[in-house]
Amino acid sequence: MLKVLLTGANGFLGQYINDHLIEKGYVVETIGRGVGNSISCDLSLQGPQLSDCPDLVIHCAGKAHFIPKSENEKKEFFDINVIGTKNLLNSLEQMPTRLKSFVFISSVAVYGKDEGSEINEETPLLANDPYGLSKIQAEHLILSWCKRKGVICTILRLPLLVGVNPPGNLGAMINGINRGYYFDVAGGRARKSVVLAEDVAMILPQVARIGGVYNLTDRYHPSFSELSSNIARQLGKKQPLNLPMWITKLMAKFGDFLGKYAPINSKKLDKITSDLTFDDQNAVNAFNWNPKPVLKGLKIN
């Protein structure tokens, strides 16, 4: 049985990964600040005390994406995503036996794109926000360390994650539809890449043996309208109303006047009305990536 060291097991994706590995008979040791971890450790402050070297490390811990409102909040991205990664690697460096594989859960945010279609792994990493920059720096640290140590390295760049009671923007959409204050904008035609957390968890043991850098999506890229219709149906609600573009443009102009904390402004409007999809053909070619379409796998409890 492979021994797996998993960081971020208490997070949204980490829970799926932990459950899947245990179900498949792997010996899983978890690192985190929360209750129930095998090793209690704040990676942003120090490296973990490891008793022996695992066969596989899955580094899922990280500061989730949000818009920072202060310099301290910006710094947290680098403390957790970069310094935390460095501390983990330093602890692994002390092990007498060699690690076989390292998987890092990264993000499509590294590309720094607000719009575009079928963006692939060869696209330059141009993120300039704290979250995207911290993920880029973490990727570079891991790639360099693994190359130096002869460790199989896998980096997975993920879009919006979908699962039971998801956090972030999808969770906000579900809550808005449930309470009746969500509206599709300009027909909700913009398509976004998404992926089911369970599909990512299931593929990890296989991709860890191969290595490489991969985007992962559900390969369909649903529109906002398709997602909102699916969610409304599951909640027993009516199809959300649509706000015409001319109305949202007026609201956005007013938001420009109010400042960056307005619910909507021209920049936010451009973002939610533009396609942003990613190409994962490399994953199909390398390990037969065959995910479930999110519209079929999305379940709301």
As annotated, the active-site residues are: 131
d(CA 171, CA 138): 27
Cα Dmax for the chain:
64
Burial of 269 (0-12, 13-18, 19+ CB in 10 A): buried
Radius of gyration of the chain (CA): 20
Identify whether the C-beta of residue 12 lies closer than 8 Å to the C-beta of residue 61: no
Q: Which helix (H) or strand (E) holds 110?
A: none
Strand partners, 6: 30, 58
DSSP letter, residue 191: B
Q: Torsions phi, psi of 70, nearest 5?
A: -150, 165
d(CA 1, CA 232): 43
